Homo-oligomer: A and B are copies of this chain.
Amino acid sequence: MKIYENNALYIEVEDSQIPWLKIFTQKKYKELSDCDKKTREELFRTMLLIETQMIGYYQPTKVNIAIFGNYLPHLHIHVMARFEEDSHFPEPMWGKKQREGNLKLPDFEEFKQTLVKKLNQSR
């Protein structure tokens, strides 16, 4: 599900138990270093804004960030809020499942609305 876009990038929600967003470039690049400097700075700025908003809203144990793209050669950044009692912690979300996750998190809708507002304000 796409929740935000501008001329450089768009943000999708990953279907997961944890708050997990993916930032894609509008133009298709394979590697971070293929991307023009302006777009890359916009990616980093957006990644940091998402991290900061996740920390403020969810108070996660840790934020995890990943740029893989081994299956999908279209540059994207995963930003995930991780919690001690989530399904995989302390393993990455791609690692071995540790338990059935049992998270009681505040409403995603409110997080999303505040994030989109901040993204619009920051441009």
Chain A residues near B (Cβ < 8 Å):
30-33, 40, 44, 47-48, 51-52, 55, 61-71, 73, 82, 89-92, 94-95
Contact = CB atoms under 8 A, between A and B. Distances in A.
This protein's copies in its complex: 2
Nearest to A84: B70
Given A31-B62, A62-B31, A94-B94, A70 B51 contact: no
Nearest to A72: B90
Contact of A92 (B48, B70, B82): B70
A85 to B, nearest CB: 13
A16 B31 CA distance: 22
A55 B94 CA distance: 24
